[in-house]
Structure 1
Amino acid sequence: MSNKVSCEIIKDMLPLYYDDVCSDESKRMVEEHLVGCPNCKNELDRLKADFILPKEEIETIRSDSNVIKNISSFWNQSKIKSFMKGMIISALLFSVINLGYFGLFNWQIISVSTDEVEIKNVSQLADSKIVYYAETNDGYSLNRLNYDMDKEGSFYITPLRPIIKREAQLHNGFENRYYSIDIKYQEKARGKVIKRIYYGTPKDKILIWEKGMDLPKASEEIENMFHE
Structure 2
Amino acid sequence: MAQDIIEGVNPTRMELLTLKDRTKLAVKGHGLLKEKRDALIKEFFDILDRVKGIRENAERSLREANEALVEAQIVMGDLAVKKASLSVKESIDVDITSRSIMGVSVPVTEVVMDENRSLVDRGYGLTDTTIQLDEAAKKFEESVKYLIELGEVEKTIYLLAEEIESTKRRVNALEHIMIPRFQNTEKYIDMRLQEMERENFVRLKMIRSTIEKKQEVEEGLAEKPSNVPDLQV
TM-score (norm 1): 0.31
Structure 1 or 2: more helix by fraction: 2
* Larger CA Rg, structure 1 vs 2: 2
TM-score (norm 2): 0.30
Structure 1 or 2: more strand by fraction: 1
